[in-house]
Chains A and B, each alone.
Chain A
Amino acid sequence: MSTQKVLMGNHALSWGAVTSRVQVISAYPITPQTQVVELLSEMCTDGTLDAEFIKVESEHSAMAACIGASAAGARTFTATSAQGLALMHEMLHWAVGGRLPVVMGNINRAMAPPWTIWTEQTDSLSQRDTGWLQVYASSNQEVYDSVLMAYKIAENRKVSLPMMIVLDAFFLSHTSENVIMIDQNKADAYLPKYDPEFKLDVKNPHTFGGLTTPDWYMELRYNIQKGMDDSYQVIRDAQSEFKSVFGRDYGMVEEYKCEDADVILVGMATAASTGKESIDILRNKGVKAGLLRIRYFRPFPFEDVRRVLKNAKQILVLDRNLSPGLGGITFQEVKSAMYNEKNKPPIYGFIMGLGGRDITVESITNLFEHAKKNDPQDIIWMEVKK
């Protein structure tokens, strides 16, 4: 029988790192991420985990330390949130350009000012163009499982890109749930030791990241996109192997009652899991409602999104994030995914729950009410004091 632990989302991340046998950790504390690194510090001290923990003086340095260690061939881990992630920005690009499979947990928190610690996705979504793979979780089991899969995917030589596991502040980070733990021997078989094609090696010296003229830079960017393109299959393979070994089934997206749905709500993370209850209520009232939860934001699951949405009569996108001057970020991606499709259902862009404001079952059923009565719009603010 498999062991279970009651874990908060943050500790699910820490345990994910343990199960993945990370070798070098470097991190800096920020609410609501602190428990991730506190537990890892203890585990590095008490022998639960045989890793070096570099307790740096900033997140920018945390990412730089992970980059150095990863380039030297070690499996590396860090975690952060909001301001910390923004401070890392330059180094996020560095990890991608260096093709280094650093894995990071990011706890979604709204950006200051004003000071806030509650959930919102703008911190991680505004890093979408750096080239990190991003997966958004909606349960602590998913957080834990995603860490192990993240290394498997990121370290695959076809991908060789860093990966971010994203979870909502408090709704996941500080909420305890039952988590089925993975047997270490099975984990080791699923995720072998990191064996990079290139590393800093005194026996085979190479230079990494040297001055590159227009003759070569573009090819390197092409290869990063190719890594993303190839990652779809790598992700699917990692998920199906995970399912056959551990029994839990993950896709690039999660579909809930979409098959015959006329109106499909698209969302991410815990807001989307709340949405499932709304769907049930609507279904009871005879509304053919469905829900599409996007797990992978990068690479964007174009195929799945098109397949699921193409027969819908209305698409409602729920964004707990904002790109000022544009609107919801998921909305933008979904809309662009559908643009070249023959059947283009109308798409509604809802902004809701910024700065950690509750998104309730009722708030989500209200979106369907709104769409029943109104024409589609790119930005529809819900529950905002105007």
Chain B
Amino acid sequence: MIYTIPQKELINPGHLACQGCGGALALRTVLKTLGENTILTFPACCWSVIDGPFPYSAVKVPLFHTAFETAAVTAAGVKAGVKKAQDPNTISVAWAGDGGTFDIGIQALSGAAERNEDMFYFVYDNEAYMNTGVQRSSATPKGAWTTTTPTQSPKKERKKDLVSIIAAHAVPYIATACVAYPEDLTKKLEKAKKIKGFKFFHIFAPCPPGWKINPQDTIRIAKMAVENKMFPLFEIEDGEKYTINMPNPKKEKNVPVNEYILKQGRFRHLKEDDINEIQAFVDKRWEKLKKLAEI
């Protein structure tokens, strides 16, 4: 089934994102489906800058900038506010980076998920603190360079498995998505719009300057991450029903992580052994996911 993405743009051209910004593309796609009856809440992240300096604003829906660690709860407050003072059907959206989600904002996020607030939470994951100049976050993958994990001592710890943490809250809907697959994202948004309660989207969003890739390679690299299962696409309903939705089942077999790794400056220092280790980790995690989805 082919999903058409709504045409109407809710982001103006002329925003301040870098060329090839995955985060900018992600919001553009999301807003098209959520539509105009949406209020956005941004914590500190690249999007606090991308939207444009006062008095300019790129988004065409109401937007509230909030403190770094409060995206989830501020958006929950907005929802309670519109429920009491305006239209209870208005969609409230927390839109945060990986740092604001995996790290400093995880407490408020866990609270909102546990209370099953009727809202959307999106994390656009560029795998580091990009706003402040590429420092590691707990979403940074093992082996990656950042300014706080220099090449002599790249990140030693694995990426935090946040989706499992959110799943443990048994929220009604969780999806992973990727900017290279806007139809898949749109389809999931359509589905989530019909669900009451907490909807969590983890969107893979490459960052050319932070990953040391060419801006024109954002989509290519995002696609590779899905094909090689570095970032598999799936849904979790009620914290337990897993559905894998790989966009290209034919290509699903054995796409190695090599090419993906070698295309990015942030991994350039890695040796063959390091890459093998990443491969082994990705394979293991994929098997685990398949088991969860009972394939």
Interface of A with B (CB < 8 Å)?
23-24, 26, 51-52, 54-58, 60-61, 64-76, 90-91, 94, 194, 199-202, 205-213, 216
**Given A207-B51, A207-B63, A65–B77 Cβ distance below 8 Å?**
yes
Contact B66 A73 (CB under 8 A): no
Contact B81 A209 (CB under 8 A): no
Q: Does residue B6 face the partner (Cβ distance < 8 Å to A)?
A: no
A199 to B78, alpha carbons, bound, how many Å?
Answer: 10
Which 8 pairs across A and B sit closest by C-beta, in order of nearness?
A68-B77, A72-B81, A69-B81, A57-B111, A65-B77, A209-B65, A207-B57, A64-B70
Q: Does residue B49 face the partner (Cβ distance < 8 Å to A)?
A: yes
A365 to B61, alpha carbons, bound, how many Å?
Answer: 62
B86 contact set on A, CB distance < 8 A? 72-73, 199, 201
A23, A56, A71: the one within 8 Å of B64 (CB): A71
B79 contact set on A, CB distance < 8 A? 68
Which partner residue on chain B sits nearest A64 by CB separation? B70
Which partner residue on chain A sits nearest B48 by CB separation? A211
B49, B81, B84: the one within 8 Å of A71 (CB): B81
A72 contact set on B, CB distance < 8 A? 39, 77-78, 80-82, 85-86
**Given A71-B64, A73-B86, A202-B62, A24–B80 Cβ distance below 8 Å?**
yes
Contact B53 A210 (CB under 8 A): yes
Which partner residue on chain B sits nearest A69 by CB separation? B81
6 extra A-B contacts, CB within 8 A, seeds A64-B77, A202-B38: A58-B111, A67-B66, A72-B39, A208-B64, A210-B54, A211-B54
Which partner residue on chain B sits nearest A63 by CB separation? B70
B78 contact set on A, CB distance < 8 A? 68-69, 71-72, 200
B38, B60, B73: the one within 8 Å of A64 (CB): B73
Nearest CB of chain A from residue B59's CB, rounded to whole Å:
7
Q: Does residue B41 face the partner (Cβ distance < 8 Å to A)?
A: yes
**Given A68-B76, A68-B77, A72-B39, A212–B54 Cβ distance below 8 Å?**
yes
A72 to B90, alpha carbons, bound, how many Å?
Answer: 11
Best-buried of A74, A194, A200 by chain B (most CB within 10 Å): A200
Q: Can you give 9 A-B contacts (C-beta < 8 A)? A: A54-B115, A57-B111, A66-B77, A69-B77, A73-B86, A76-B81, A205-B62, A206-B63, A208-B64
Contact A24 B77 (CB under 8 A): yes
B38 contact set on A, CB distance < 8 A? 202
Contact A207 B62 (CB under 8 A): yes
Nearest CB of chain B from residue A62's CB, rounded to whole Å:
8
Best-buried of B77, B79, B111 by chain A (most CB within 10 Å): B77
A52, A55, A68, A202: the one within 8 Å of B41 (CB): A68
Q: Does residue B259 face the partner (Cβ distance < 8 Å to A)?
A: no
Which partner residue on chain B sits nearest A204 by CB separation? B62
A202 contact set on B, CB distance < 8 A? 36-39, 61-62, 87, 90
A-B contact count (CB 8 A): 164
A125 to B36, alpha carbons, bound, how many Å?
Answer: 43
A68 to B87, alpha carbons, bound, how many Å?
Answer: 15
Nearest CB of chain B from residue A203's CB, rounded to whole Å:
9
Q: Does residue B75 face the partner (Cβ distance < 8 Å to A)?
A: yes
Contact A74 B73 (CB under 8 A): no
A66 to B80, alpha carbons, bound, how many Å?
Answer: 9
Q: Does residue B110 face the partner (Cβ distance < 8 Å to A)?
A: yes
Contact B80 A200 (CB under 8 A): no
Q: Does residue B241 face the partner (Cβ distance < 8 Å to A)?
A: no
Contact B70 A61 (CB under 8 A): yes
Nearest CB of chain B from residue A374's CB, rounded to whole Å:
48
A207 to B61, alpha carbons, bound, how many Å?
Answer: 8
A58, A69, A205: the one within 8 Å of B80 (CB): A69
A61, A73, A206: the one within 8 Å of B85 (CB): A73
Contact B83 A52 (CB under 8 A): yes
A61 contact set on B, CB distance < 8 A? 70, 73, 107-108, 111
Which partner residue on chain B sits nearest A97 by CB separation? B65
A211 contact set on B, CB distance < 8 A? 48-49, 51-54
A194 to B51, alpha carbons, bound, how many Å?
Answer: 29
Which partner residue on chain B sits nearest A194 by CB separation? B85
Q: Does residue B74 face the partner (Cβ distance < 8 Å to A)?
A: yes
Nearest CB of chain A from residue B278's CB, rounded to whole Å:
35
B49, B55, B76, B84: the one within 8 Å of A74 (CB): B84
B39, B52, B69, B80: the one within 8 Å of A65 (CB): B80
Which partner residue on chain B sits nearest A98 by CB separation? B64
Q: Does residue B165 face the partner (Cβ distance < 8 Å to A)?
A: no
A58 to B60, alpha carbons, bound, how many Å?
Answer: 32
Contact A207 B65 (CB under 8 A): yes
Contact A54 B80 (CB under 8 A): yes
Contact A68 B36 (CB under 8 A): no
A76 to B77, alpha carbons, bound, how many Å?
Answer: 10
**Given A55-B115, A74-B84, A208–B65 Cβ distance below 8 Å?**
yes
Nearest CB of chain B from residue A185's CB, rounded to whole Å:
21
A55 to B48, alpha carbons, bound, how many Å?
Answer: 28
A64 to B68, alpha carbons, bound, how many Å?
Answer: 11
**Given A201-B86, A202-B36, A60–B69 Cβ distance below 8 Å?**
yes
B77 contact set on A, CB distance < 8 A? 24, 26, 54, 64-72, 76
Contact B84 A69 (CB under 8 A): yes
Nearest CB of chain A from residue B185's CB, rounded to whole Å:
22
Which partner residue on chain A sits nearest B52 by CB separation? A210
Contact A91 B53 (CB under 8 A): no
**Given A65-B80, A66-B77, A68-B81, A210–B57 Cβ distance below 8 Å?**
yes
A94 to B38, alpha carbons, bound, how many Å?
Answer: 22
B39, B60, B111, B114: the one within 8 Å of A200 (CB): B39
Q: Does residue B67 face the partner (Cβ distance < 8 Å to A)?
A: yes
Nearest CB of chain A from residue B161's CB, rounded to whole Å:
21
A304 to B61, alpha carbons, bound, how many Å?
Answer: 46
Nearest CB of chain B from residue A44's CB, rounded to whole Å:
12
Best-buried of A65, A91, A202 by chain B (most CB within 10 Å): A65
B115 contact set on A, CB distance < 8 A? 54-55
A56 to B60, alpha carbons, bound, how many Å?
Answer: 30
A66 to B81, alpha carbons, bound, how many Å?
Answer: 9
A216 contact set on B, CB distance < 8 A? 54-55
A75 to B80, alpha carbons, bound, how many Å?
Answer: 11
Nearest CB of chain B from residue A9's CB, rounded to whole Å:
27
